[in-house]
Every structure is written in structure tokens, then in C-alpha cells.
Amino acid sequence: MPLKKSPTVYDVAAHAGVSIATVSRVLRGPDKVAAGTRERVLSAVQELEYIPNASARGLAGRRTGVLGLLIPGHDIPATSHGRTDTATTVEFLDDHDNSHAGFLRNRYFEQLVQGAEAAAWRDGYALLIAAGTSVSRDVMLRDLTGRVDGLVVVSRTVPDELIERAAHSVPLVLVAGDLPGTTDSVRVDNRGGMSALARYILRVKPPGPVIYLAGPPNSPDAAARELGFRDAIAAHPDRWHSALAEFTFQGGHGAIVDQLRTEAPGAVIGANDQSALGALAALQEAGILVPEDCVVTGFDGIDEARYSRPGLTTVRQPMTDLGVHAVDVLLRRIAHPDAEPHDLQLPVDVLLRDSSGRRKPD
């Protein structure tokens, strides 16, 4: 069946008996138009099933009505776990080590996107989401910059020099990092949150060394959390070791498997929840009781941490709020392009669960 011709703003104006300028005012700011006129226009819009043309509005107002969100992505490997055959049989895969988990899935970014999308829609913008990969990052950033009115970029998605360059041509906010004096930024109190958690754990842990599961070396979040851990451990007599876990379940699992070849830890402090959950699995596989023999903690507050057994003690960062505030700061930058760069730091809190025992803070 052929598509019917879409009504235009001229059709709406004729149907309501007003000018196209009045139609535009009603659609952009209905409270600024007299009630009777507003009702006629909105009635015509509904009867004609008129859908405003975003491209035409953008050309008229030099705006696209779209905000961009650039998050870290993954290059698709040459061989992935997805099936390409057309067989109808169901294949059984051994996933006890989580090796077949979706490599594109990250709860942190899911909640960040939810917050950013809700804030964008609240203010009449659509949200264009792109996942940066190592292939032509500069080309991808330039392409996205030309399509949006403003851009939220998660730190580490592209190199800092590309972010600084893009900030000269489009309003831009950096999430989970900061470029002092260059861009607006929104982040959480990573250092303070990790320091508070680690100080508590050092008081309640069983005997044994402390293992810190570090995040990626190029992550500002990971760097700040490690500083917080070192703040707490500096005056403590317990032995401790740091192992690179890369913010992944597999990284945390592998680090603890390696540690158990020499000595069982008394505490495992993960720089994020996913690595801590991997460590928790490795300890359970080895028959080490948590929290009786070893306490385990993470950082982020993802849902999986709540549903693990035992429940994972963690620092909860407001991931959805991070997306909301990033868009709010971006909209302020769009409205006030010459304002000084603003750095917003959001508070965190510690969620005590069974993986660290039942003792309350002093």
C-alpha cells in the first residue's frame, strides 16, 4: 500500500486559520500563545496527524535538536561467540567461566545512557548514541560532532587531544574525567569513596594479605580509586598487592586464581563490581568462605552486585544521575557558550552487604 503524503506546516496553518509563524510558536512554546489559538492549532495537528520535520526546524534555527553521547565501544573480534550458520539445532556452550558473556554489555554505560536519554527527551532533544572503537576515532568524532547540537563524551572513548579539539567546534561535556580549563566535566568522588570503603575493610577483614584489583591504566576513574585505596592502606600494617583486572569479571577471576597459587587473601578490594564478582567466583571455586575467610568489595553499584551470593559490598555511584547531570551541564553550555568550564563532582555512598560481614562502621 503506498504511503500517504505527509501534511505540512502550511496544511496545519490553513486548517487552523492561522499563520505558519503561529503554528511554529504553538509547537515551540505553547504557553506563550492565547488559549483559543493554541487549542485550534493543536486540534489541527492531531486531526491531520502532523509530525514536525526535525531537519527543517534545524535548518531554520541552525539546530539539529539532537545531542550526542559517545561511550567506549569494542572492536568486533575476527572470531566472536555469535553463530553465523543457518542450522536450526541449539548448541550448548560451557559458560561456567563467563567466557561467552556478551562482550558489548556493560551495566555502567547502560545506566548512564538511561539518565542521559531521559534528560535529553525532557528538554525536547533526541539522543544519538555512538560507541567509539579504535578504528578511525578522529573520523568518528568529527562525523558525530557535525550531526549534533552538543556532545557528551565518556573519558577514554577517544584521546584527550581529540576531545579538546572537538570542544572548539561544538558544546562538549566530559564524563568520568576532566581536562582542567578546557571542557565542562561531570564525575563522581572516586577517591573519597574508595578511601572510605578501604578504611572500613581494613578494620573488619580476616587475617591475610589485601589484594587490590586495579582498573585500566588509562582510566581516570581507576586512577582516582587507586589513590583512594593507597590513602587508606598507607598507615595500615597489612601486606597488600595490586593486580591488574581491567574492570572485567575475567580479569578479577584470573587475578585471584593466580594469587591463590601462593597465599589466600584476607581481603579483595575491586576497583569495580565486575572484577570483584570475578574474584568472588574464584574464591568460591577454591572453597574459601566469604566473608569468614576473606572479605570482598567492589565499586559502582551494578544490579549484579546486589544479587550475588553473598551480596557484594560496594561503593554506589549515581550512574543514572551521572547521565542526567551531564546533559544538564551540556544544555547550560549550549545556552551560555562563553561561560567558564564547570567541573561537577557527584557524591557516592557505601552499600554494606554480606561479602564484608555484618560489622557496622565505628
Please check whether residues 159 and 222 belong to one and the same domain: no
Residue 3 covered by a domain: no
Percent of the chain scored above 90 by pLDDT? 53
Q: Is the pLDDT of residue 104 over 50?
A: no
Please check whether residues 328 and 338 belong to one and the same domain: yes
Please check whether residues 121 and 151 belong to one and the same domain: yes
What cell was used for 164? 579538546
Give the helix ranges, DSSP H, for 217-292. Answer: 220-233, 249-259, 273-285
Residue 81 covered by a domain: no
Please check whether residues 156 and 232 belong to one and the same domain: no
Which is more confidently placed, 282 or 42?
282
Rounded CA Rg of the chain: 25
Report the number of distinct structural domains present in the chain: 3
CATH number of 38's domain: 1.10.260.40
Please check whether residues 178 and 239 belong to one and the same domain: no
What cell was used for 128? 544519538
pLDDT of residue 314: 96
Residue 59 covered by a domain: no
Please check whether residues 194 and 182 belong to one and the same domain: no
Please check whether residues 213 and 248 belong to one and the same domain: yes
Q: Is the pLDDT of residue 103 over 50?
A: no
244-270: string of b/e by CB count within 10 Å (b at 16+)?
bbbbbbbbbbbbbbebeeeebbbbbbb
pLDDT of residue 185: 94
| 338 contact partners, CB below 8 Å, separation of at least 6 | none
What's the pTM value of the predicted model, to 2 decimals?
Answer: 0.74
Provide the mean pLDDT of the chain: 85
Average pLDDT (316-324) is 93
pLDDT of residue 357: 92
pLDDT tens-digit map of 131-144:
766 556 666 777 78
Residue 338 covered by a domain: yes
CATH number of 221's domain: 3.40.50.2300
Which is more confidently placed, 29 or 280?
280
Which segment of 57-71, 147-161, 232-246, 336-350 scores lowest on mean pLDDT?
Answer: 57-71
Please check whether residues 236 and 251 belong to one and the same domain: yes
Please check whether residues 293 and 197 belong to one and the same domain: yes
Please check whether residues 15 and 47 belong to one and the same domain: yes
Please check whether residues 246 and 222 belong to one and the same domain: yes
Percent of the chain scored above 70 by pLDDT? 83
Which is more confidently placed, 67 or 132?
67
Residue 25 covered by a domain: yes
Average pLDDT (156-166) is 83
Residue 233 covered by a domain: yes
Residue 98 covered by a domain: no
Domain limits at 312? 190-317+350-356
Residue 86 covered by a domain: no
Q: Does the CA dihedral 185-190-191-196 come out positive or negative?
A: positive
pLDDT of residue 60: 52
Please check whether residues 312 and 324 belong to one and the same domain: no
Most confident by average pLDDT, 15-24, 141-150, 263-272:
263-272
245 with 274: CB under 8 angstroms? no
pLDDT band at 163 (very low <50, low <70, confident <90, very high): confident
